[in-house]
Amino acid sequence: MSNPLTQMIESYCNQYEELREENLSLDPLAFQRRYGLLVHAPHNWNILETVEQVVNNYAKNLKVVIIFGSTESYRKIYDVLQDRVQYFSWHEIFTGIHVTDVRYIRRAKQLLTEAEVTFFLNPPVLPEVIDQVCGQTRNCLIILSGGGA
């Protein structure tokens, strides 16, 4: 049995295409700001377990990208999902914004553009990073924070 967070995410993903079709006049940034799923999970909801359930059940045949914030987070996520999804750190976007070497941000933008489902786990409180993720994501974006690991 899936937890309430998993059910909510799967429901959002199922309704995403219709929601996007109804709002084609909005650019990706405006759309994600208005309709992207942003959840601050209670401490007793394990967000990594939730992501695993969504990837295994709903998104097993979709291109999934996970944005993480630390090496420790990456290890936890990779131990569970391994090569079934693609990963990058939000630090790559931050670095790409603030240095002249655009390799970091170019790769991140490509992944976000091609992903069918993107999870942004425990995002930083940096509006420029969040705006870049929202503006470059072309499909379903789920921003998860809080919860247990």
Domains along the chain? 35-148 (3.40.50.300)
Task: Classify burial at 7, counting beta carbons within 10 Å of its beta carbon; exposed 0-12, middle 13-18, buried 19 or more.
Answer: middle
pLDDT of residue 70: 86
Token pair, residue 83, equals 């090569």
**Whether the model pTM is above 0.85:** yes
pLDDT of residue 97: 81
| Spans of the chain below 50 pLDDT | none
pLDDT of residue 1: 58
